[in-house]
Amino acid sequence: MAASLIGRSPTTAAVSVYEVKVEPFGESFDCAEDETILHAALRNRLYLKYGCKHGGCGTCKVWILDGDVDLGGSSYALSPGERDAGTILVCQSYPVADCVIDATPMNLDEEEFRAGDRSGRYEMTLESATRLTPDICRLVLRHQPGTVMPFIAGQFVNVVVPGTAAERSYSMANGSADNERIELICKLLPGGLFSGFVAEQARPGTQLTVSGPFGQLAVRLSHREIVMVAGGSGLAPLLSMLIDQAGKPVKRRITLFFGARTPEDLYALDEIAALAPALPELKFVPVVTDPPAGWMGAVGLVTDAIAAWRDSWEGCDAYLCGPPGMIDAATELLVGRGVRPQNVYFDAFVPTGDAKDS
């Protein structure tokens, strides 16, 4: 049977159970029609890579080879081309027939697949909460003594919203060597569940439960030039990457574009400037859409600045973090100017409970 992706039908009283087979491992398990493929795999003590569980991070991409699935939720991390090619997110896919998926895009080996979920769960203490802009806050969380969470720059954690069972996803903003603590950059939105906690209740000493690390966004080993594009709280994983790159013996040429509405919405400027001695090839381009009188920097959308900076980005790796619209526009521009599609890496920061939360 040819693979197909269909829309969600209303839930019926009887719940059907289907067989899901995972290649290239040849392992099958049962999955109910009201259960995601990811949940069923983890329930069966098998591991498929995942992150936010809400369709925003793209960690759980696989190919569907046969059968039917319902893409029941958000799929911010899938491009139209990926959908057309049969790529699905197992955190959002419900089977409506027996199906076969190929986990090759996850780069799992058989030992990892059969080991089950090995992500950690940590009790952490809020050390500080600092307002960086009117709607951006930096949280510093520290592990219990003797505990660390090894992570790769670019990864994120899920934080349990105190007093609820809900989780929200945030990328680390500190370097991976500094893993006795984590720094999270949170955008505050009216009505946001975690935003409300941060704005009204976050105090030093507050205990928070964190799980992770998750995600596959990371600087790939290469000598290619790097172009980074950030919007809003999307600067966090890129800042972590820059800190790690500052400690590398090989200094790659890096251009960082950071888009905001006004200069008051830009942050971490001193930290970026402090990296200059260790990253002599770093170029930082702040961009604002609503400049005040006397603003000497780039003006307009961040894509306007990328386009004006140079005509060709051929031979570059691109790392994009921020709102989906910014990522889509920047990807189209950079690919159109020479970046190979396979060298574009991104993390969509969606300001709702559906993905990376604010």
Residue 297's CATH number: 3.40.50.80
* Residue 264 sits in the same domain as residue 343: yes
* Residue 65 sits in the same domain as residue 11: yes
CA distance 356 to 57: 8
Q: Which two tokens stand for residue 142?
A: 């520290």
Residue 260 lies in a domain: yes
* Residue 247 sits in the same domain as residue 297: yes
- Among the candidates 99, 115, 131, a domain finishes at 115
148 DSSP assignment: -
- Spell out the per-residue pLDDT of the chain, length 358, in tens: 345 444 444 444 578 999 999 999 999 999 999 999 999 999 999 999 888 787 877 889 999 999 999 887 666 677 777 888 899 999 999 999 999 999 999 988 888 898 887 778 999 999 999 999 999 999 999 999 999 998 889 999 999 999 898 999 999 999 999 989 999 999 998 888 999 999 888 999 999 999 999 888 889 988 999 999 999 999 999 999 999 999 998 889 999 999 999 999 999 999 999 999 999 999 999 999 999 999 999 999 999 999 999 999 999 999 999 988 899 999 999 999 999 999 999 887 665 444 444 3
* Residue 344 sits in the same domain as residue 299: yes
| Cα angle 141-142-143, degrees, rounded to a multiple of 5 | 130
Structural domain range at position 144: 120-214
CA distance 161 to 42: 23
CA distance 78 to 235: 21
Q: Which two tokens stand for residue 290?
A: 């609503």
* Residue 110 sits in the same domain as residue 127: no
* Residue 166 sits in the same domain as residue 188: yes
Q: What does pTM read for this prediction?
A: 0.78
Strand ranges in 34-148 using DSSP code E only, listed in sequence order: 61-66, 68-71, 87-89, 93-95, 99-102, 120-133, 136-143
